Structure 1
Amino acid sequence: MDDPACDPVALDNTYRLFGVINPLVASWRPVYRRFLRPVLRQAAREGRVATVLDVGCGGGDVARAVSRWAARDGVVTRVTAIDPDERAIRWARAHDRGAGIDYRAVASGELVAAGERFDAVLSNHLLHHLGASGLAAVLEDSRALTTGVAVHNDLRRSRAAWVLYWLGTLPLARARTFVRFDGLLSIRRSHTPSELAAALPPGWRVVRQRFFRLLAVHTARNPAPARAGRD
C-alpha cells in the first residue's frame, strides 16, 4: 500500500478495514488509559486544551478513537493527524465523521521546524516501516514535539504472531485489500523487544503489550504547556 501506483480500490478497502482490525489487535485503549489519559488530564487541570499528534496516521482511525475517549473523559482535546501520503489524508478527511481531527499531509520534521509542541505524540504501526536512519529521525522528532509523552505502538515479531495473523485473515485472502499481504509482511519486518531496545536512544524505553505488541515510550523530563501551530 506504500506504492504510489497501488490499486486505489484496494487501498480504500484497506483504510476502511483498519478501523475494524486496529481496535481488535492494537490494544490502544489500555495504552490510552496508562500513558495518554494522565497527560491529557494534566492539561485540563491547567486550564488548557490538551493536544495530541498522531504521526503516520493512515486512515485516521486511532486519532479519532483517542479524540472520542478523551471526550468521554471530559477532556477538551485538539488532535492533529499527519501523514506524508496525501492519499491517506484525503481518505481520513472524507471519513472524519464529525470528529474534528486536523489532518495534514506533512512529515513530523516539518512540525519540529515550525516549533509546534503537543502534550502527547503517538503512532500506530509506523516503526517497522522505517530503516535505521528513519527510525532515529522519527524518535528525535517525537522527543522534540512532545511536552508530555510519546508512545509508538508497533508489532512484536514472532512466529506465533505471523501464524495467527495468517489464519485470522484467511477470509480476506481473495479480497481486494492489502490487509492480509501487508500485515504478514509487517510482522516479518517488525522488531523483537531486544532489537527495538537496541535501536532506541537514551530516554526511551520498551514496554510489552498483549497481542504481540511493543511500545516505544518517552516521557518528557520537564513538561511544559504544549503549543500546536493551528488554532
Structure 2
Amino acid sequence: MTDRIDLSARAVDLRELMDDPHCDPATLDRTYRRFAVVNAAVSGWRAVWQTHVVPALPATGRARVLDLGCGGGDLARSLSRWARGDGFDLEVVGVDPDPRAIRAAERLSAPGVTFRQQSSAELVAAGERFDVVVSNHVLHHLDDAERHAFLRDSAVLAGSRSVHSDIRRSAAAYRLYAIGSVLVTAGTFIREDGLRSIRRSFTVPELAAALPPGWRAESASPHRVLAVRG
C-alpha cells in the first residue's frame, strides 16, 4: 500500500472526511465514540503527561489545563484521570469551535472537566489563562496562517508550557495504521481520515521549520511529533 502513496512531502490538499460539515452525522457520531479507543492505542499521551505536563504544573498541585481542539474530549478526560492518580487537583477545560465535537464531548463527564464551544482567539479575547495548554491531532489540520494564529494564541494562554502532539509522517506509521486500524474503525471515518492525517502530518524537521521563535519540535513515540514551548 505504501508503495503507491507518496509520503515524501505533506499532502496538504487532502481533506479529512469528518471535517466536512455535511458528512453523515451517524458515522461522525460513531467516529467520536471510537476516538478514545484509537487514541489510547496510538497517541502516546500518557508518556507526554509524565514528561512534559507534570513538570510544568505548579508545586501547589492545583492547576488549569486547556485542551485546544478537544474533539470528543477523550484527552481532557484522560488528563483528569491521570492527575487524580498522581495527586494533582486539575481543572481541565476542553474547547472546540465545532459544535458537533462539543456535543460528543459532553456525553461523558469527568471530575474537573468542562467543555466549551470556543476558539483560541475567543479565549485570548476573554483574558483566560492556563498553566498548560495542550492539543492532540490539531496541527496537521491547519494551514500556515491558521497554525500561526493557533500557536500565537497558545503562547498567550499558557502561563508555563504549551505541548501540541501530532502524528509523525513516515512509511512505517502509514503501514502500521493501515493494518491495525481495520480492527477497530468499522462504520467510522477513523481509518480513512487517519491515513489522510498521516499524509498531511509533519516530520520533525518540517515541523521545526514551521514553528515560530520560542518553539521547538521533538520526536516522541509511537510515531509522534511534539511542538513545545516553555
Counterpart selection for 2:111 from 99, 122, 128? 99
SS in 2 for 1:42: coil
SS in 2 for 1:152: strand
The equivalent residue for 1:64 is 77
List per-residue Cα deviations over 1:46-97 (Å, max 9, x = no partner).
xxx300000000000000000111111111111000000001101111122x
Write the letter of the residue equivalent to 1:160: A
Say if 2:133 and 2:162, in contact at 8 Å, map to a contact too.
yes
Q: Deviations over 1:124-163 (max 9, x none)?
A: 0000000000111100001000001100000111111111
Query: Once the 2 structures are TM-superposed, how far is the Cα of residue 194 of structure 1 from its aligned partner?
Result: 0.9
Structure 2: 5+ residue runs without aligned partners? Answer: 1-17
Q: Any idea what SS the aligned residue of 1:165 has?
A: helix
Once residues 170 and 66 of structure 1 are traced to their aligned partners in structure 2, the CA distance between those partners, rounded to angstroms, is 27
Choose from 169, 175, 178 the match for 1:166: 178
Report deviation, 1:99: 3.1
> Whole-Å Cα distance in 1 between the matches of residues 58 and 205 of structure 2?
32
Paired residue secondary structure (2:19): coil
Q: Does 1:87 align with 2:104?
A: no
Question: 2:194 is matched with which residue?
Answer: 183
Counterpart among 23, 43, 50 of residue 40 in structure 2: 23
Pick from 111, 122, 127 the counterpart of residue 115 of structure 1: 127
Return the letter of the residue paired with 2:195. L
Runs of 4 or more above 4 Å deviation: none
CA deviation string 1:78-123 (max 9, x = no partner): 1000000001101111122x43411000100110111111000000
Task: Find out whether 1:7 has 2:7 as its counterpart.
Answer: no
- 1:41 touches 1:75 (CA, 8 Å); kept in 2? no
> How far is 1:16 from its partner?
1.3
Alpha-carbon offset, residue 172 of structure 1: 5.3
Alignment of 1:39-50 (within 5 A): 39-44=56-61, 49-50=62-63
The aligned amino acid for 2:205 is S
> Normalised by the size of structure 1, how large is the TM-score?
0.89
**CA deviation digits over 1:19-60, x for unaligned, max 9?**
00111111101100011112224242xxxx300000000000
2:161 corresponds in structure 1 to 149
What TM-score results when the alignment is normalised by the length of structure 2? 0.89
Q: Percent identity?
A: 53
User: Quick check: 1:55 aligned with 2:68?
Assistant: yes
How far residue 183 of structure 1 moved from its aligned partner, in angstroms, is 0.3
RMSD: 1.2
CA drift at 1:171: 3.4
